[in-house]
Amino acid sequence: MRVVDIVDGRIDESELITTSEEISQAYKRTILRPDDLVIALRGKLGAIAKIGVNLAGANLTRGVALLSSSDRYHPEYLRFYLSSTIGQNLIEKNLNGSALQEIPIASLRRLPVATPPLAEQIAIAEALKGAEARIAALEALITKKRDLKQAAMQQLLTGKTRLPGFSSEWETVKLGELAEMSSGGTPTSSVSAYYGGHIPWVSISDMTGQGKFISSTERKLTDLGLKNCSAKLFPTGTLLYAMYASLGECSIAEAPLCSSQAILGIQPHANTSAQFLYYYLSSIRPTVKLMGQHGTQSNLNKAMIQNFQLRLPPYKEQLAITEILSDMDEEIAALEAEAEKAHAIKQGMMQTLLTGKVRLV
């Protein structure tokens, strides 16, 4: 078992390396038993996981330390303690000073661990496992909902599944026939008078950070900055499409804004839904990523995007399709917010229970 096999508090068994019985016996000091803990000494410093029955008998490579189960520490309590902010700060303070940072085994042995009676350790561990299970359930549900949305996009955006009440033929068109397109620009960064104004200026990091809708940006241009570059002020409802770096990333402007030259502004014509095009462009992103892989840098250009071909339903059917997909987006967003809250609750519990600020009955 290697450092890379410790993932999110568990052992990822998908790529474990097998070895011979002879080698295993040569490293028998690190043969694992159920309820043992393993902790990364380098690389993913401080990453920790508990060993289950299915991994009993496995060995460790260098860079991973074994914390054998004992009568003094409940293994789940110790896992939570060492993975908490408290434990991780202790580990960080005990790193060696070399370029390849690691925590020596000797330092790990000396880490002070707040140790309540064993019964209280068990109670704390059970409470935190409950919070952990809540997070895992929410994350599993989010994954399921995302998969359902992806399947719905594949069916609804291609016409394989039609919504009740719609039967008209879909038209095969090129994206360039449905919208006006123009790229943005970047004012000279050394001229301070061009920045710090009131005009939102979208970069690809704004798109990857905010997702479907963008109304504010990290950087803003002044009127002078907009005037002295090739950027254009795009109206509300413009699709923003990444041509460099995060190829195919797509967002919708919720306010008038401009963008860098890495982004194409797509302004749909009448009877073409910006949200329908958003979902269409999002659905083909895996293919678009491959299209851009030419030469030393992976880029798209306006001509390539204008030639994207799609099947377009009548406008009312576009709206009906986007309503369904938008509802699914809202449901996923609500679950993500709930998961974020659950993470915060767990962190708060760890901070109070592992320090003794709150005692369990």
Give me the pLDDT at residue 318, please. Answer: 98
State the Cα–Cα distance between residues 84 and 86, nearest whole angstrom.
5
Query: Do both 248 and 337 map to the same domain?
Result: no
- Structure token digits, residue 219: 């950087």
192, 247: one domain: yes
Looking at the structure, tell me whether residues 152 and 182 fall in a common domain. no
Cα separation, 341 vs 135, in Å, equals: 9
Confidence (pLDDT) at 292: 58
Same domain, 234 and 214: yes
Q: 308 and 181 in one domain?
A: yes
Q: Let me know whether 213 and 300 are in one domain.
A: yes
Q: Is the pLDDT of residue 297 over 80?
A: no
What does the mean pLDDT of the chain come to?
A: 91
Residue 5 backbone class (left: φ over 0; alpha: ψ -120 to 50; beta: rest): alpha
- Do residues 38 and 1 lie in contact, with contact meaning Cβ atoms separated by under 8 Å? yes
* Contact indicator for 197, 223 with CB cutoff of 8 Å: yes
Residue carrying structure tokens 């309540």: 116
Q: Are residues 22 and 102 in the same domain?
A: yes
CATH number at residue 82: 3.90.220.20
List the domain range (segments joined by +) for residue 126. 116-165+314-361
What's the mean pLDDT in 126-139?
96
- How many domains are contained in the chain? 3
pLDDT band at 27 (very low <50, low <70, confident <90, very high): low
**93, two tokens:** 């303070």
Q: Where are the beta strands (DSSP E) in the chain?
A: 6-7, 10-11, 37-40, 48-50, 64-67, 171-174, 179-183, 195-202, 213-214, 219-221, 239-242, 250-253, 258-259, 263-268, 309-312
pLDDT tens digits for range 272-296: 999 999 999 999 998 888 875 555 4
Rounded to 5 degrees, φ, ψ at 38 are -125, 140
pLDDT beyond 80 at 20: no
Domain of residue 335, CATH code: 1.10.287.1120
Is the per-residue pLDDT at 62 higher than 60? yes
The β-bridge partners of 312 are: 171
Same structural domain, 241 and 123: no
Record the tokens describing residue 33, joined without a space.
Answer: 């038993």
Q: 183 and 147 share a domain?
A: no
Question: Above pLDDT 90, what percent of the chain?
Answer: 68
φ/ψ of 114, rounded to 5, equals -65, 120
Alpha-carbon gap, residue 195 to 231, rounded angstroms = 13
Structure confidence at residue 132 (pLDDT)? 95
The conformation of residue 287, written as its DSSP 8-state character, comes to: H
Q: Which pLDDT belongs to residue 97?
A: 67
Residues 6+ apart with CB under 8 A from 93: none
Residues 182 and 271 in one domain: yes
